């Protein structure tokens, strides 16, 4: 049969592929006459096709054995599609409202077929650049993070389940290594992949490479990223991994998923909102100072953390007599100690969040992959000014994260820049 | 063939087994006429046979699918023998002077054949009770710990090697769960397995179960034990897992091995030395106050940490331009930052060591498995006094560990009890 071994698909072979898979054919009403197939992969890694017929639609994503945006010179296992499909299914089970349904997974072809997030869904990052407010975003993302992180952690699960899944996701090592390199290493050394808004930020990039205290802290976070199997994290939860409408929030692209520290997900999301905040001045002009929108972003940052905290603790309280290994009810069943352990857990998670969030901000300014929030500011000098503000705040957050007592102090620090 | 599936061996079937394995037969000079076989398993879990002929000797250890000291009512996978054999080989490769050679491993039979540690080798714990000084003990154990922990950590290895081995050792989950239960859970709740020197320590045991700050700290250590894959640790490095003569130090029984926090090994050893120290007053009498021996134990505690620290840092310096993922030379190649990161790493490891060491002390006084150091003190009142001193110190170490600036402060705290 034609698809018994891996090969990259194009529009024509994709059509043939769909015909051989009943669950996909039926999604399209078994009607291939009016099929439209559009390649839309604007990410860094994969090919993505939208397939629409008069009777239905779906998205097909195929991983190729290299990084798309760099090419065959940077090989990357296509097995990442397996971990992405596993995580879409697991996170989708835990938070079905915010994860697109998987229709079909083909490991041989490294191919995932899933729900097409129809217009007006757009990538959240583009919405943030376009000054669109999403009134339910904080609530939705908080819900997704609380559920996916809580239910895959030892607060809910036994050690047996935990170690079984940790072992499985150790297989996603190549994607973990990519994160280690581009987030925790490259920005802190001379690397051919690094770039920044030159010449304005030359001195800033150099300062990152010469900051011993920053290097001390990034080392601690890197070790925690590799060593600490706290929960099944998305692994790349920036604003480009979220699709939104006013009412809908959908998390996509968990191919970097593995058992890692929760703060890496929460930090990725908040850190990218902070980047969006600092980019607004670059998008402002005489008729629109974007002041109101900046306030909305700050409110969303604050609410995301507060709602995440609230929902996470609510899940903990609800399941505190369950089979989670971390805090056995026979030991932690008095209100006083319960309060103590929850406070400590959330404080540690908050500081992890600030550290990882800051690391993700820094790498987007002086590392290999930048964000459209800044890239779309045409005036390089203006862009550099925005980026420098974000960078300076990120350095403070990374080095001083343990001094921040709560999210309001972070908001204050952002406003003071 | 007779040995194609698992069955427990006795003296007779063991003889037949050896005959079928050429590498074992030859160790005994292929002479089975004058063979002596002695069962000596005094541990909690396994059967151990010493086999001696006029031409040679070996030890055979077989894991049965339950915990020996409790019986078939507490099942325990015999697959633990696989992880023990893997670890004996890996740690033996890294520290051949201090790990007995493995001659043969049979996964089906859960059977390890290894070097017989001939007399006058005895279990270190028995030597500590018998007031024997071991002038090289600190040096040897420090060497074993520094090498096995450094070379299996991200200070030396790539993420790829690390995740491959972490995944493999996730399979040893049943033994990890046993540790979680008896070290981090049972002592802090009412459990049918707990016991203590009653009635003297009734109130002390109750106090452990009611100490919220202690519970807060033990929860942090438990999560670190489960989640943090820092190095391939022995997992049960107390003084009963070490065999000694004056000149030789051999670490045995790593069936609890997995990728966990380094401080669990270092702490287990130091914590058990502290237990030995507090037991001495129970062994003292009119003609022998054991004062000199107590001084020797304190000196050994101090030297073990100091030599471990020295050797670990020496390995780090030697391999700092290697392929270890944690501190890439391109980032950490200046002496100032190198000093900073090493100081932080060792301080964190020191505090982990105190925490885990204290946890291991506590569980030996109010948990299921006690130590002969105390058990051999016949006078229950006297024993309780020794145990209470150890317990009080352990509680302080666990709760205040971050306030200890170095091992001399720990020694001072021990002396002040």
Q: Tokens 């966990």 appear where?
A: B260
Q: What's the half-sphere exposure (Cβ side, CA atoms, 13 Å) at A352?
A: 19
How much is the average pLDDT of A204-212?
Answer: 98
**CA of A292 to nearest chain B CA: how many angstroms apart?**
41
What pLDDT is attached to residue A306? Answer: 98
pLDDT tens for A23-37 read 999 999 998 888 999
Q: Which residues pair with B50 in a beta bridge?
A: B38, B59
Residue A1: the pLDDT is 39
B160–A177 CB contact, under 8 Å: yes
Domains of chain B, earliest start first: 11-114 (3.30.200.20), 122-416 (3.90.1200.10)
The size of the A-B interface in CB pairs under 8 A is 120
Question: What's the mean pLDDT in A64-82?
Answer: 83
Predicted TM-score (pTM) of the model is 0.97
Helix (H) or strand (E) holding B36: strand B36-39
Give the model's pLDDT for residue A357. 98
Residues B74 and B67: beta-carbon distance below 8 Å: yes
Q: Which helix (H) or strand (E) holds B281?
A: helix B262-283
Nearest residue, CB atoms, B340 vs list A176, A212, A332: A212
Using the Cβ of B325 and the Cβ atoms of chain A, whether some distance falls under 8 Å is answered with yes
Q: CA dihedral in degrees (A268, A269, A273, A276; nearest 10)?
A: 60
Residue B1: pLDDT band by 50, 70, 90 thresholds? very low
A38 touches chain B (CB under 8 A): no
CB B149 within 8 A of CB B262: yes
Does any CB of chain B come closer than 8 Å to the CB of residue A339? no
Whether the pLDDT of residue B378 is over 50: the answer is yes
Q: Choose between B69 and B87: higher pLDDT.
A: B87
pLDDT over 70 at A403, yes or no: yes
pLDDT-derived band at B3, boundaries 50, 70, 90: low
Average pLDDT, integer, range A388-405: 98
Report the distance separating Cα A383 and Cα A126, nearest Å.
17
SS3 assignment, position A59: strand
Q: Which H/E stretch holds residue B306?
A: helix B291-318
* Collapsed DSSP state (helix, strand, coil) of residue B406: coil
**Does the pLDDT of residue B18 top 80, yes or no?**
yes
Q: What integer pLDDT is reported at residue B5 of this predicted model?
A: 86
Q: How far apart are CA B361 and CA B369, in angstroms?
A: 11
Query: Is A260 in a helix, a strand, or coil?
Result: strand
Mean pLDDT of A202-216: 98
Within an 8 Å CB–CB cutoff, is residue A323 touching chain B?
no
Provide, as residue numbers in chain B, all residues whose Cβ is less than 8 Å from the Cβ of A228. 227-229
Place of tokens 């170690």: A163
CB B404 within 8 A of CB B302: no
3-state secondary structure A215-239: HHHHHHHHHHHHHECCEEECCCCCH
For B45-114, give the DSSP string: SEEEEEEEETTEEEEEEEE-SEETTTEEEEE--TTHHHHHHHHHHHHHHH-GGGSPPEEEEETTTTEEEE
Is the pLDDT reported for residue B407 higher than 60? yes
Residue A248, CA atoms < 13 Å, CB-side half-sphere: 17
CA distance A64 to A72: 9
In order of A349, B357, B361, B370, the CA distances from B183 in angstroms are 25, 11, 9, 12
Closest partner residue to A336 among B188, B212, B228, by Cβ? B212
Is a pLDDT exceeding 70 seen at residue A233?
yes
Instruction: Report whether pLDDT(B45) > 80.
Output: no
Mean pLDDT rounded to a whole number for chain A: 96
Q: Looking at the partner chain, which of A168, A173, A332 has a beta carbon nearest the beta carbon of B159?
A: A173
Phi, psi of B381 (to 5 degrees): -65, -45
pLDDT of A43 reads 63
Average pLDDT over residues A160-169: 98
- Tokens 């969006």 — which residue? A276
Q: Which residues of A touch B347 (CB under 8 A)?
A: none
| Closest-CA residue of chain B to A214 | B337
Rounded average pLDDT over A164-189? 97
* Residues A62-84, mean pLDDT to the nearest whole number: 85
CB atoms A229 and B230 under 8 Å: no
B229 interfaces chain A, CB cutoff of 8 Å: yes
C-alpha span between B249 and A348 (Å, rounded): 40
Residue among A215, A334, A337 minimizing CB distance to B216: A337
Q: For residues B340 and A74, which has the higher predicted lDDT (pLDDT)?
A: B340
Q: For all residues of chain B together, what is the average pLDDT?
A: 96
User: What is the per-residue pLDDT across B76-120, written as a single tens digit (0 to 9) for each?
Assistant: 888 999 999 999 999 999 999 999 999 999 999 999 999 999 999
What is the predicted pLDDT for the residue at A33? 85
Among chain B residues, the shortest Cα distance to A211 is held by B337
Contact across the interface for A216 and B341, Cβ inside 8 Å: yes
**pLDDT band of A54, cuts 50, 70, 90:** very high
Please give the structure tokens belonging to residue A43: 């990410």
pLDDT the model gives residue A3: 64
Closest by alpha carbon to A114, among A95, A126, A93, A99?
Answer: A99
Share of chain B above pLDDT 90, in %: 90
- Tell me if chain B has a CB within 8 Å of the CB of A33: no
Q: Is A173 on the interface with B (CB under 8 A)?
A: yes
For position A11, what pLDDT does the model report? 84
pLDDT at residue B266 greater than cutoff 80: yes
Per-residue pLDDT, averaged over B198-213, amounts to: 98
| Those residues with Cβ within 8 angstroms of residue A218's Cβ, 6 or more apart along the chain or in another chain | A184, A188, A359, A398
How does pLDDT run across A265-294, given as a tens digit for each residue?
A: 999 999 999 999 999 999 999 999 999 999
Residues of A within 8 A of B177 (CB-CB) are: 159-160
Contact status, residue B71 vs residue B157, Cβ threshold 8 Å: no
Q: Which of the residue ranges A69-83, A394-408, B100-114, B157-171 would you say has the lowest mean pLDDT?
A: A69-83
Q: Provide the percentage of residues in chain A whose pLDDT is more than 90.
A: 90
Q: What is the ipTM of this complex?
A: 0.96
């Amino acid at each position: 049969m034609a698809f018994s071994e891996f090969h990259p698909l194009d529009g024509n072979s994709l059509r043939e592929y769909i015909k051989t898979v009943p669950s996909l054919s039926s999604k399209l009403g078994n009607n291939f006459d009016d099929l439209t197939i559009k390649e839309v992969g604007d990410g860094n890694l994969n090919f993505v096709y939208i397939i629409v017929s008069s009777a239905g639609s779906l998205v097909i994503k195929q991983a190729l054995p290299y990084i798309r945006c760099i090419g065959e010179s940077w090989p990357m296992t296509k097995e990442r599609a397996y971990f992405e499909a596993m995580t879409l299914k697991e996170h989708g089970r835990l938070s079905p409202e915010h994860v697109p349904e998987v229709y079909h997974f083909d490991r041989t072809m490294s191919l995932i077929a899933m729900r097409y997030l129809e217009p007006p869904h757009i990538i959240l990052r583009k919405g943030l650049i376009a000054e669109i407010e999403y009134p339910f975003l904080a609530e939705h993302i908080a819900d997704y993070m609380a559920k996916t992180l809580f239910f895959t952690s030892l607060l809910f699960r036994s050690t047996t389940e935990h170690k079984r899944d940790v072992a499985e996701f150790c297989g996603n090592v190549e994607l973990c290594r990519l994160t280690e390199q581009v987030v925790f290493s490259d920005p802190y050394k001379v690397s051919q992949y690094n770039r920044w808004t030159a010449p304005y930020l030359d001195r800033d990039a150099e300062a990152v490479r010469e900051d011993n205290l920053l290097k001390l802290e990034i080392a601690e976070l890197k070790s925690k990223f590799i060593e600490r199997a706290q929960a099944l994290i998305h692994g790349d939860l920036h604003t480009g991994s979220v699709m939104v409408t006013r009412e809908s929030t959908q998390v996509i692209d968990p191919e970097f998923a593995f058992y890692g520290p929760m703060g890496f997900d929460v930090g990725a999301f908040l850190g990218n909102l902070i980047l969006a905040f600092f980019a607004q001045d670059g998008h402002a002009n005489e008729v629109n100072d974007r002041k109101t929108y900046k306030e909305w972003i700050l409110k969303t940052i604050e609410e995301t953390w507060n709602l995440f905290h609230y929902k996470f603790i609510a899940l903990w309280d609800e399941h505190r007599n369950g089979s989670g290994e971390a805090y056995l009810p026979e030991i932690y069943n008095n209100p006083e100690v319960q309060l103590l352990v929850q406070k400590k857990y959330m404080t540690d998670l908050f500081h992890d969040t600030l550290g990882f969030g800051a690391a993700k901000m820094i790498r987007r300014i002086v590392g290999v992959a930048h964000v459209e929030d800044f890239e779309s500011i045409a005036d390089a000098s203006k862009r550099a000014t925005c980026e420098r503000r974000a960078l300076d705040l990120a350095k403070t957050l990374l080095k001083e994260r343990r001094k921040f007592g709560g999210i309001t102090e972070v908001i204050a620090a952002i406003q003071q820049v």
